[in-house]
Amino acid sequence: MWFLLFTKLIANDIGINKNLGIRMFQVFFMYALFASIFPIGKLTLQYTSPYFLTGTRMLLAGFILLAYQYLRHPKQFYLKAKHIPLLLGITVFNVFITNVFEFWSLQYMTAGNTSLVYTLTIFLNCTRILIFL
């Protein structure tokens, strides 16, 4: 609650939109949800393997996204045949493999260490790109 009050006070002082406090709280809540994945994943790995956990998570998220797209924009709900290989490539290499390694590392490391390493990979990749380009 203090976070919401603090952002509203700052927004009023510098004359920014009054919805800034709500938006800042939404960003804070989104990152809190992102951070909760690691301890919850550590608990669920006691009962299942990293591959099954990642596959279940991806299927659930995919069905939710498809249902949202179908309900929100039914006329734009289509998939061309030329998009399928690209979509499968992105799914396997960008999502599935990274999440399997994330959950695999959770078996041997603490949730905090895994979160730190997983979050730092984007910065390491950007640094690598800047060096080699």
48-54-60 Cα angle (round to 5) = 105
Close Cβ partners of 91 (under 8 Å, ≥ 6 residues apart): 58
pLDDT of residue 8: 56
Residue 18 pLDDT level (bands cut at 50, 70, 90): low
Sequence letter at residue 120: L
Q: Does the pLDDT of residue 12 top 80, yes or no?
A: no
Give pLDDT tens digits for 49-89.
999 999 999 999 989 998 998 999 888 888 888 988 998 89
Q: Are the C-beta atoms of 23 and 37 separated by less than 8 Å?
A: no
Beta carbons of 50 and 107 less than 8 angstroms apart = yes
State the pTM of this model.
0.67
CA within 13 Å, CB half, 129? 6
